[in-house]
Amino acid sequence: MAVWTPPRGMLKPRRPRGTWAGPSSPPRRSSGKRRPSRRRTRRYGKLSRGGRASDEGGEGREAAAPAALAEAELDEDTFFSKDSVRSSDARRSLSSSEKTFTELNLSRVLCRACGKLGFESPTPIQAACIPLSLAGRDLVASAITGSGKTAAYGLPLLERLLHRPQHVKATYVLVLVPTRELAVQVHSMLQKLGMYCKGISMALVVGGLSMQQQAVALRSKPEVVIATPNRLIDHLENTRSVDLDDMSTLVLDEADRLLELGFQEQVREIISHCPGRRQTLLFSATMTQSVQELVQLSLRNPVRIAADPKHATPQLLTQEAILLKGGLAKKKEAILMSLCTRLFTEKTVIFTRTKQYAHRLKLIFGLADLAASELHGNMSQAQRLQSLEDFRSGDAKFLIATDVASRGLDIIGVQNVISFDEPDVVTTYVHRIGRTARAGKEGRAVTFLDPSNRALIKQIMKHSGKKLKQRIVSDESIEGWQRKIAAMAEDIATIQLEEKEERILQKAEMEALRAENLVEHRSEIMSRPAKSWFQTKREKRETQDAAREEFDDARKGIRRDRQRKKDAGRAEKKKQAESLEEFQAKRIFKATKSQERKLRNQGLSRSQAMNIIIAKNDPGTKSRKKAEQKKKEEDAEEGFKPMKNKAQKAEMNRRKRGGKAAKAFKSKKKYKRR
C-alpha cells in the first residue's frame, strides 16, 4: 500500500495531542482536558497581556486591527514617521475590508446611533483607532481637523461600557479637554453616540458652572466624566466627590493645547490619581517636547497613528489671501465689512487676535444691522454657550472669536472663515481654517496678510500644498465703508462707556451682596474648610509662566529664527565690509608708503612727507579741489582764463626745502651743479 505524502507547499497535518517530536524529553502527558490559560485577565478595561479584553461574562473578544495597522507600532523615539499609518493606507483598508461600523465590531445600538447621526462609513482615523482601542491598546493619534476624532475614541469607549458589570456603579472613563467649549461639545457628541445605550450616565465638569451641582452629579458616580483640568482638581481637592479608583480609560484630547495653556502640572496631578493599569488615549495635533514627555509618563507601549499628514488642510477648502499693501492695513475694518455685506453673508467665523478687537467688531456689526455673536475670554460661561447656540441655530450669521474657538469646535455648516488678524504660526492657521470644509464639505478661508511677512506666507503655502488665491476688494466699497465706520466712532465710544459703567455697577452690586452674605451667614461660611490646591500660588504662577514661555516657542521661535537670519546676514555684511575695509586699508597703506618714499627721495623728512600726504588725502582738500576744478570748468566755458595758484606752489617748494628760502640751497656744496 502506497504511503500518501502531501504535495509541496501544503501544510502538514496537525500532530495528535500527546505525541512528541522534539529532541529532548517528551512533555507531560495530557489528561485530555484543556488547562486554563496562564494569561491574567480582568474585567472591564483590565486587559490580559495577550491583548484580549474580557467582558462581563469573562469571555474575551479579540478586536482585529486593519491590515494597514500592522506596522503602526513604532519606537518611542519616533513619532509620525514614514512607517506610521497614513491616510492612504487607512482608506485602502476601509475600501477593502472595513466599509461599515458593523465590521468594526461595534454593537447594534452604536451602529444605529451612527446611522441616526448620518455617519455612513468610518473615517480613516476612526477605522484606525476603533479596533486598537477595543483591543485595549494605548494610542497616540493625530488626524486632520473635522475627521471625527471624538467618535474615534467615543465609540470604543461606549462599546466597552456596554459590557461593564451592571451591579457596580463606578466612573470608568475620564476625558480631559483644554477648553470649556470643547468639553461641552464632547459631552454633547458622546450623549448623541450613546442615545440608545441604556444605563450610561455622563457628567460635565467645567469652570463657569455651579460647583455644587457638579459635586452632586459626581457623587452619583457617572460612567463617563468630561472635564477641564482645573475644575476637576478643584473637586479632587475640596469637594472630594470624584472617585477615580475604578477608572479604566483616560482620554487626553488636544493634548498639545492642554500643555500650551499651562495645564502640565494639573495633568500630571490627575494622572497620579488614576490607576496604574489603565488604557490611555492621547490625541495631539503637534508633537512637542512636552507632549513627548507626557507620552512617556502616561502611556505604555503606545501605538502611534497618523491618519492624515501633519498640519494637513481639507481638500475641498478654497484658500484666499488679501494682501494689505500700502495704506490698506489701516482700512481692515472697511475691507471686512465689504466682504461680509457683499460676499460672505452666511455662517462666517471671524478670528481676531485680541478680546478687545473682537468686541469692537461686534459693535460695528451691530451698528451695521448685521446679526453677529462674539466668543472670547471676557465673557461668562453662560454668555459663551449662548453665543455658540445663536450661531448654530442661525440667529447670528457671524461669529467673531479669538483663538479660543479655533480648536476642536465642530459647528455644522460653517461656510467661510476669515482671519482678520494674521496667525502667528502655521498651526494656528490650520486650526482656524479647520472650522470649515469639515467632513467632506466645501468651504472658503480668507486671511488678511501683511506682504512683508513673507516667511508666514511661504509656510502657509508649503503646508497647504496649494497656491493662495489673491482676493481684490474694490476701492469704492472700501472707501464707502471707511466713511460709515468713521461716522460710527461716536456711537462706539458711547456704547463702550456705557458698558464700562455697567461693569463697575455690577461689580459694586456683587461686593455689596457678598458683604451681606458674610454678615447674614457668617457662622456657616466660617465653618467651611478653606479651599486647598496641590500647588502654592507661586508654584502655579511659575508653572504657567514656564508653559507660556515654552509654547510661545511656536511664536517666538519663528521670530527668533527670523532674527537669527537677520543677524547672520548683518554679520556676513559686516564681515564683508571689514574684509573690504581691510583690503582698502592695505592698498592705502601701500600707496602711502610709496608716496612717502618719493617725498623722502626729494629731501623731505618723514614727518614732512606724512604731513603732505595727509593734506593731500584730506577729504576737505579733495572737496576743495573738486570745487576749484568745477569753477575752472565753468570759467573756461564762460571764456575766462584759469589762474594758477602760485602761492600754493611756492609753499610746496618751501616745504620741500625744509622751510629754507629759495636761495638757501645755492650756498650748499652738495646741491651745486656738476
**Tens digits of residue pLDDT in 552-582:** 665 666 667 767 777 887 888 887 777 777 7
Residue 351: which of 329, 322, 324, 374 has the closest Cα?
A: 374
Q: State the pLDDT at residue 649.
A: 65
pLDDT at 1: 46
Q: In which band, very low, low, confident or very high, does the pLDDT at 532 lie, cut at 50, 70 and 90? A: confident
Q: What is the pLDDT of residue 252?
A: 95
What is the pLDDT confidence band of residue 122, given thresholds at 50, 70 and 90? very high
User: pLDDT at residue 619 above 90?
Assistant: no
pLDDT band at 148 (very low <50, low <70, confident <90, very high): confident
User: How many other C-beta atoms are found inside a 10 Å radius of the C-beta of residue 124?
Assistant: 27
pLDDT tens, position by position, 469-524: 899 999 999 999 999 999 999 999 999 999 999 999 999 998 999 888 888 888 88
> In the prediction, which pLDDT does 20 show?
40
Q: Give the model's pLDDT for residue 79.
A: 35
Give the residue, 230 or 426, on which the prediction is more confident. 230
pLDDT at 72 over 80: no
β-pairing verdict for 372-375 and 224-227: unpaired
Candidate ranges 66-75, 205-214, 255-264, 626-635; pick with highest mean pLDDT: 205-214
Distance (Å, rounded) from C-alpha 3 to C-alpha 360? Answer: 93
What is the CATH topology of the domain spanning 317-515?
Answer: Rossmann fold (3.40.50)
What are φ and ψ of residue 549, in 5° steps?
-65, -40
| Higher per-residue pLDDT: 111 or 557 | 111
Query: Once rounded to an integer, what is the mean pLDDT over residues 217-244?
Result: 93
| pLDDT for res 64 | 36
Domain boundaries, the chain: 80-306, 317-515
Distance from the first to the final alpha carbon of the chain:
143
Q: How far apart are CA 302 and CA 304, in angstroms?
A: 6
Taking alpha carbons only, the member of 312, 286, 310, 285 closest to residue 465 is: 312
Write the DSSP assignment of 576-625 as a string of letters.
HHHHHHHHHHHHHHHHHHHHHHHHHHTT--HHHHHHHHHHHH-HHHHHHH
pLDDT band at 88; cut points 50, 70, 90: very low
Q: How confident is the model at residue 189 (pLDDT cuts 50, 70, 90)?
A: very high
Counting Cα atoms < 13 Å in the Cβ hemisphere of 282 gives: 29
Quote the pLDDT of residue 302.
94
Of the chain, the percentage scoring pLDDT greater than 90 comes to 35
Tell me if 80-306 shares its fold with 317-515.
Answer: yes
pTM over 0.95: no
Burial 416-445 (b: 16+ CB within 10 A, else e): bbbbbbbbbbbbbbbbbbbbbbbeeeebbb
pLDDT at residue 647, rounded to an integer: 58
* Packing angle, helices 475-520 and 332-342, rounded to 10: 100
Contact assessment for residue 454 and residue 566, using Cβ atoms and an 8 Å cutoff = no
Instruction: Please name the CATH architecture into which domain 80-306 falls.
Output: 3-Layer(aba) Sandwich (3.40)
- In this prediction, residue 576 carries a pLDDT of 79
Share of the chain above pLDDT 70, in %: 74
Residue 80 predicted with pLDDT over 50: no
For the beta carbon of residue 171, count every other beta carbon within 10 angstroms: 21
Shortest CA distance to 152 belongs to which of 140, 167, 164? 140
3-class secondary structure, 16: coil
Q: Report the alpha-carbon distance of residue 257 to residue 139 in Å, rounded.
A: 18
pLDDT value, residue 669:
53
In whole angstroms, how far apart are CA 314 and each of 1, 94, 141, 150?
A: 71, 19, 18, 18
Cα 437 to Cα 66, 198, 338, 589, distances in angstroms: 27, 34, 23, 70
User: Worst-scoring range by mean pLDDT, 41-50, 247-256, 321-330, 621-630?
Assistant: 41-50
Give the dihedral sign, CA 14/18/21/22: positive
Helix H or strand E encompassing 64: none
Q: Which helix (H) or strand (E) element contains residue 256?
A: helix 255-260
SS (H, E, C) 401-463: ECHHHCCCCCCCCCCEEEECCCCCCHHHHHHHHCCCCCCCCCEEEEEEECCCCHHHHHHHHHH
Mean pLDDT throughout 578-595?
Answer: 80
pLDDT of residue 399: 95
Non-local CB neighbours of 576 within 8 Å, separated by 6+ positions: none
Give the tens place of pLDDT for each residue, 151-184.
999 999 999 999 998 888 999 999 999 989 899 9
Which residues make Cβ contacts (< 8 Å) with residue 532, sequence separation at least 6?
237, 238
Per the prediction, the chain carries an average pLDDT of 78
Q: Is 648 helix (H, G, I), strand (E, B) or coil?
A: helix
Residue 134 near residue 156, CB atoms below 8 Å: yes
DSSP class of residue 145 equals T
Burial of 556 (0-12, 13-18, 19+ CB in 10 A): middle
